[in-house]
């Protein structure tokens, strides 16, 4: 995978250990100010850091896990990296085991953001700092820091990409002159309700789409406009595919066409595309379909004109933020936050560092994904990650 290689190259280039500074220079964006704070803190002790990731069924989490592990190791830590196969008890046991093994810090991307209270209590009792990685851990006082992307903005960007594909706004989300009047038939998908992010994505998207549903520019033939109706349990492709099949059967007769689908994640988009193909939609006449994560199979679908867009979240930068935050916490310092208001987990507002996101269409795959080394041109061409 290109990003893994990129990371290895970056690390090889920094034998001196000025990791944060170099990553900031390579990645461009927000590496905690690139201060290198805590570069030496804890490193000489080589303490153990536990890294808990949700699943390996989505390539973004594999890339996240690898990047966090490499960043921590380069900073002198030992790493226990675990994936939980999207099984909540497994993730709980993995975190228990990390604590028992003497982890000095935990970096956790939760499967279900509400199920780790017991683990976090145990961590707090031993003064083990906890960083919530990309998905906010809810209902616990014991979350020290949150690193993620601007999740509301992800939803706004997805909705704008949908409208852009329908010819209603430009790539900046500004209304275009002589836009078609519509109405356009759209269907809406949300993520897994136990993932805090799913709500931010939905709220961001609906802040853009709702006025257009209200004024009749967009029509949702299924009338499923609540997040509970649109949700996709566990973010699974097959769940999105079967819901799309049901929607097509129940609400689209021979004359009705789907013009657009709001999809919050590339895996779901691929399930939606499969359902549409089975219903007779040709690849060159698909509705406008959005996505998220720039997964390689979907980047190829975008290059081929089947899927319209995805939201690129550079997991290398997120991993770097997590490493920087862990170093700060282990040095007894507060990590640098750029948001201290929006991420209330039910018991506290968790200080956060949010990274920006980029909308990728066919015309900027090369500039955003290939030139930055996230995917190689060969990977985009084949649609398969090079795992060497």
Q: Give residues with Cβ within 8 angstroms of 80, minimum separation 6.
A: 48, 49, 50, 51, 97, 98, 101, 103
Contact 133, 64 (CB under 8 A): yes
Which residues, 38 to 97, sit near ligand BGC by CB under 6 A? 58, 60
Task: Pick the binder of ligand BGC from 104, 134, 150, 259 (CB under 6 A).
Answer: 134
Other Cβ atoms closer than 10 A to 129 = 22
The smaller minimum CB distance to ligand BGC, of residues 130 and 311, is found at 311
The smaller minimum CB distance to ligand BGC, of residues 222 and 298, is found at 298
Q: What sign results for the dihedral spanned by CA atoms 318, 323, 64, 239?
A: negative
The contact pattern for ligand BGC, residues 208-247, with x = CB under 6 A and - = no contact, is ---------------------------x------------
Other Cβ atoms closer than 10 A to 82 = 18
Task: Work out whether 112 is an interface residue with ligand BGC (CB under 6 A).
Answer: no
User: Residue 210 in 3-state DSSP?
Assistant: helix
The smaller minimum CB distance to ligand BGC, of residues 185 and 298, is found at 298
Among 91-99, 190-198, 296-304, 370-378, the segment contacting ligand BGC (CB under 6 A): 190-198
The smaller minimum CB distance to ligand BGC, of residues 185 and 237, is found at 237
Q: Is 134 left (phi over 0), alpha (psi -120 to 50) or beta?
A: left
Task: Work out whether 197 is an interface residue with ligand BGC (CB under 6 A).
Answer: yes
Contact 188, 260 (CB under 8 A): no
Task: Pick the binder of ligand BGC from 7, 146, 184, 265 (CB under 6 A).
Answer: 265
The smaller minimum CB distance to ligand BGC, of residues 199 and 327, is found at 199
Tally of CA atoms within 13 A in the half-sphere of 124 that contains its CB: 11
Q: How far is the CB of 141 from ligand BGC (least distance, A)?
A: 22
Task: Pick the binder of ligand BGC from 81, 120, 135, 157 (CB under 6 A).
Answer: 135
Please give the size of the binding site for ligand BGC, defined by CB under 6 A: 12
The smaller minimum CB distance to ligand BGC, of residues 224 and 269, is found at 269
Residue with tokens 């976090």: 120
Q: How far is the CB of 55 from ligand BGC (least distance, A)?
A: 7
Cα 51 to chain center, whole Å?
A: 17
Contacts 24+ apart (CB under 8 A), 136-141: 136/196, 136/197, 136/343, 136/345, 136/350, 137/108, 137/110, 137/113, 137/345, 138/113, 138/114, 138/196, 138/345, 138/346, 139/114, 139/345, 139/346, 139/347, 140/116, 140/345, 140/347, 141/347, 141/348
Q: How far is the CB of 325 from ligand BGC (least distance, A)?
A: 17
The smaller minimum CB distance to ligand BGC, of residues 36 and 65, is found at 65
Instruction: Please state the length of the chain.
Output: 388
Task: Work out whether 194 is an interface residue with ligand BGC (CB under 6 A).
Answer: no
DSSP states along 264-320: SSHHHHHHHHHHHHHTT--GGGPPEE--SS--HHHHHHHHTTSS--EEE--HHHHHH
Which residues, 278 to 297, sit near ligand BGC by CB under 6 A? 292-293
The smaller minimum CB distance to ligand BGC, of residues 160 and 298, is found at 298
Among 72-80, 163-171, 189-197, 337-345, the segment contacting ligand BGC (CB under 6 A): 189-197
Residue with tokens 């080589």: 46
DSSP states along 146-170: EEEE-HHHHHHHHHHHHHHHTTSB-
Other Cβ atoms closer than 10 A to 102 = 13
Q: How far is the CB of 13 from ligand BGC (least distance, A)?
A: 28
Q: How far is the CB of 127 from ligand BGC (least distance, A)?
A: 28
The smaller minimum CB distance to ligand BGC, of residues 77 and 189, is found at 189
Task: Work out whether 195 is an interface residue with ligand BGC (CB under 6 A).
Answer: yes
The contact pattern for ligand BGC, residues 299-338, with x = CB under 6 A and - = no contact, is --------------x-------------------------
The smaller minimum CB distance to ligand BGC, of residues 235 and 343, is found at 235
> Which residues lie near ligand BGC (CB under 6 A)?
58, 60, 134-135, 191, 195, 197, 235, 265, 292-293, 313
């Amino acid at each position: 995978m290109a990003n893994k290689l990129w990371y290895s190259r970056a690390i090889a280039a920094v034998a001196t250990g000025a990791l944060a500074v170099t990553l900031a220079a390579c990645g461009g964006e927000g590496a905690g100010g690139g201060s290198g704070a805590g570069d030496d803190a804890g490193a000489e002790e080589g303490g153990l850091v536990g890294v808990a990731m949700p699943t390996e069924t989505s390539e973004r989490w594999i890339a996240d896990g690898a990047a966090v592990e490499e960043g921590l190791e380069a900073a002198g830590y030992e790493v226990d990296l675990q994936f939980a196969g999207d099984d909540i008890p497994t993730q709980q046991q993995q975190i228990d085991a990390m604590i028992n093994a003497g982890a000095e810090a935990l970096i956790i991307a939760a499967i279900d953001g509400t199920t780790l209270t017991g683990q976090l209590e145990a961590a707090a009792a031993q003064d083990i700092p906890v960083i919530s990685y990309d998905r906010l851990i809810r209902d616990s006082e014991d979350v020290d820091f949150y690193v993620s992307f601007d999740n509301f903005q992800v939803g706004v960007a997805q909705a704008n990409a949908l409208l852009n594909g329908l010819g209603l706004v430009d790539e900046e989300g500004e209304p275009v002159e002589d836009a078609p009047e519509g109405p356009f038939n759209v269907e809406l998908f949300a993520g897994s309700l136990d993932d805090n992010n799913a709500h931010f994505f939905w709220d961001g998207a609906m802040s853009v789409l709702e006025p257009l549903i209200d004024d009749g520019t967009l029509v949702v033939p299924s009338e499923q406009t609540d997040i509970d109706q649109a949700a996709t349990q566990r973010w699974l492709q097959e769940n999105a595919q079967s819901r799309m099949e049901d929607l097509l059967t129940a609400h689209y007769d021979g004359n009705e066409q789907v013009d657009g689908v709001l999809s919050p994640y590339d895996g779901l988009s691929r399930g939606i595309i499969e359902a549409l193909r089975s219903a007779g939609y040709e690849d060159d006449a698909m509705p406008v379909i959005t996505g998220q994560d720039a997964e390689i199979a979907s980047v190829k679908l975008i290059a081929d004109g089947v899927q319209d867009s995805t939201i690129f979240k550079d997991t290398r930068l997120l991993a770097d933020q997590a490493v920087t935050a862990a170093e700060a916490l282990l040095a007894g310092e507060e990590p640098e936050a750029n948001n201290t208001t929006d991420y209330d987990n039910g018991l506290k507002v968790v200080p956060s560092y949010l990274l920006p996101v980029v909308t990728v269409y066919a015309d900027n795959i090369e500039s955003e994904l290939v030139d930055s080394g996230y995917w190689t041109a060969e990977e985009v061409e084949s649609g398969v990650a090079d795992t060497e």
